[in-house]
């Protein structure tokens, strides 16, 4: 456990006052291990961000429906959170006096973490909407309702995180200045933070349910085989995200049973915190890699059906006849060839009438027996009914 005590003769506590920072040797090694996994997660997030940038540049058109830019912002915010957490922990690597301003790293780290989680929820909901439009038969109105609900949830998360971080800043400030209201403010912040993680956990379950539904849709319908791999990778990413939120949910439940998050964190042994950091690294790196591979395997802007309009091919022969009538204003090469190959007398060609009128064009099409499948006239044995003498 890291001990922080004000230095003697420092006067009234403030952000510029010095504090004695000391970590027992038995806990120092575990603290270094925690910081090492923070650096590993930081490096992993930067590598994933570089991969997403490459995909964004090489598959710009294919990834237009995907929230690639928002994913990059979420990765960078979480990388900033890990960098500030490492800087905060590094102060405790050795016993020395430090100014209270080092707590700013903790405040910035929490802010980056809150922003990252809000953006990650936005990313998951946006990808769900893209796949829902591609592989499900949900009506446009129903999907619009789901979108409004999901964006409302994201807005609620943003508001909750702003309140959470505001109370956290107030609590840290009162602790630095050794105010009497420190315990009360920390108690309020602990309750708000616990509510936030519970809501995050419930929403992560909803995301997991959506991804499983989409995975079943793509696996059962052969027409959506091109989305199968990308959807399965998205399912894996949502599973890791659910596991990450479940970890913090359990952590807050245990803290609630202890009566205080601060007391619980202080009473947890070094191995417990180290194991938590390792699990956070696995889950966070897992779902970030899952999103990267999902973008890599996404088939692109192929959500719309490539089948031709049935009405113009098989459904309505009238459209075909009208189109042929427009083309028949000029004698086609096909008709010219038949006319040249079959010289006949004028009085023996009852079919070669004046085709300039619309009625005449319709009659011609009826005689040619237009083939809708091949968009070419199909001749019978004697298309012009030529009687040879």
What does the H/E/C string look like for 122-138? Answer: HHHHHHHHHHHHHHCCC
Its sign, for the CA torsion 339, 325, 358, 315, is positive
pLDDT at 301 over 90: no
C-alpha span between 5 and 3 (Å, rounded): 7
Within this chain, do residues 288 and 372 fall inside the same structural domain, yes or no? no
Residue 389 belongs to some domain of the structure? no
Within this chain, do residues 250 and 196 fall inside the same structural domain, yes or no? yes
Residue 107 belongs to some domain of the structure? yes
Within this chain, do residues 319 and 291 fall inside the same structural domain, yes or no? no
Within this chain, do residues 201 and 325 fall inside the same structural domain, yes or no? no
Per DSSP (E only), the strands in the chain are: 3-6, 18-22, 96-99, 370-371, 376-377
Range of the domain at 325: 310-377
Residue 305 belongs to some domain of the structure? no
Give the CATH number, domain containing residue 270: 1.20.1070
Output the CA–CA distances (angstroms, integers) from residue 377 to 339, 342, 354, in the order listed.
15, 18, 19
Within this chain, do residues 20 and 50 fall inside the same structural domain, yes or no? yes
Within this chain, do residues 317 and 262 fall inside the same structural domain, yes or no? no
Residue 388 belongs to some domain of the structure? no
**pTM (two decimals):** 0.73
- pLDDT single digits (tens) 234-247: 999 999 999 999 99
Query: Residue 377 has which token pair?
Result: 């006239």
Output the CA–CA distances (angstroms, integers) from residue 279 to 128, 213, 244, 347, in the order listed.
26, 27, 8, 94
Last residue of a domain, which of 274, 297, 320?
297
Residue 383 belongs to some domain of the structure? no
Residue 386 belongs to some domain of the structure? no
- pLDDT single digits (tens) 199-243: 999 999 999 999 999 888 888 877 667 788 888 999 999 999 999
Residue with the larger pLDDT of the pair 57 and 138: 57
Residue 382 belongs to some domain of the structure? no
Within this chain, do residues 215 and 343 fall inside the same structural domain, yes or no? no
- pLDDT single digits (tens) 107-130: 999 999 999 999 999 999 999 999
Output the CA–CA distances (angstroms, integers) from residue 155 to 120, 202, 367, in the order listed.
13, 16, 66
pLDDT at 102 over 50: yes
Within this chain, do residues 322 and 287 fall inside the same structural domain, yes or no? no
Q: Which of 27, 48, 26 is CA-nearest to residue 287?
A: 48
Last residue of a domain, which of 297, 331, 359?
297
Query: How many whole angstroms from its chain centre is CA 387?
Result: 71
Banded pLDDT at 15 (limits 50, 70, 90): confident
Backbone angles phi, psi at 134, to 5 degrees: -90, -40
Residue 304 belongs to some domain of the structure? no
Query: Residue 57 has which token pair?
Result: 């540049």
Within this chain, do residues 290 and 315 fall inside the same structural domain, yes or no? no
C-alpha span between 206 and 54 (Å, rounded): 31
Using the 8-state DSSP alphabet, how is residue 91 labeled? G
pLDDT at 89: 87
Within this chain, do residues 15 and 54 fall inside the same structural domain, yes or no? yes
Backbone angles phi, psi at 335, to 5 degrees: -70, -40
Within this chain, do residues 165 and 281 fall inside the same structural domain, yes or no? yes
Question: Are 55 and 295 within 8 A, CB to CB?
Answer: yes
Query: Residue 157 has which token pair?
Result: 């998360």
Domain count, the chain: 2
Last residue of a domain, which of 262, 297, 332?
297
pLDDT at 362 over 80: no
Backbone angles phi, psi at 126, to 5 degrees: -65, -40
Within this chain, do residues 217 and 319 fall inside the same structural domain, yes or no? no
Tell me what the mean pLDDT of segment 157-181 comes to. 89
């Amino acid at each position: 456990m890291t001990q922080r005590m004000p230095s003697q003769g420092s006067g009234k506590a403030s952000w510029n006052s010095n504090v004695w920072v000391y970590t027992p040797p038995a806990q120092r090694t575990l603290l270094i291990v925690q910081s090492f996994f923070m650096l590993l997660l930081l490096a992993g997030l930067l590598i994933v961000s570089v991969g997403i940038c490459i995909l964004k540049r090489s598959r710009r058109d294919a990834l237009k429906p995907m929230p690639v830019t928002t994913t990059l912002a979420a990765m960078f915010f979480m990388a900033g959170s890990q960098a500030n957490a490492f800087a905060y922990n590094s102060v405790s690597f050795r016993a020395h006096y430090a100014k209270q301003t080092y707590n700013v790293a903790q405040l910035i780290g929490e802010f980056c973490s809150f922003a990252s989680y809000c953006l990650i929820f936005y990313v998951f909901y946006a990808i769900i909407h893209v796949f829902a439009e591609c592989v499900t038969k949900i009506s446009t109105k129903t999907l619009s309702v789901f979108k409004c609900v999901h964006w409302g949830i994201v807005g609620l998360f943003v508001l909750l995180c702003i309140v959470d971080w505001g109370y956290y800043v107030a609590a840290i400030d009162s602790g630095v200045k050794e105010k009497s209201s420190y315990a009360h403010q920390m108690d309020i912040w602990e309750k708000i933070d616990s509510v936030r993680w519970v809501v995050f956990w419930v929403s992560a379950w909803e995301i997991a349910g959506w991804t499983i539904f989409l995975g079943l849709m793509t696996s059962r319908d052969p027409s959506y085989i091109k989305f199968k791999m990308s959807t399965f990778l998205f399912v894996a990413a949502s599973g890791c995200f659910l596991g990450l939120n479940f970890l913090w949910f359990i952590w807050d439940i245990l803290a609630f049973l202890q009566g205080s998050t601060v007391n619980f964190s202080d009473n947890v042994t070094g191995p417990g915190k180290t194991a938590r950091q390792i699990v956070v690294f696995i889950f966070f790196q897992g779902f970030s890699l899952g999103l990267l591979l999902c973008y890599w395997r996404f088939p692109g802007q192929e959500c719309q059906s490539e089948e031709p309009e049935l009405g113009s091919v098989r459904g309505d022969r009238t459209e075909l006849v009208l189109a042929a009538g427009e083309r028949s204003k000029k004698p086609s090469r096909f008709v010219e060839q038949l006319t040249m190959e079959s010289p006949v007398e004028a009085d023996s060609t009852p079919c070669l009438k004046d085709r300039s009128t619309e009625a005449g064009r319709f009659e011609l099409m009826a005689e040619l027996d237009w083939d809708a499948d091949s968009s070419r006239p199909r001749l019978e044995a004697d298309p012009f009914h030529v009687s040879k003498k």
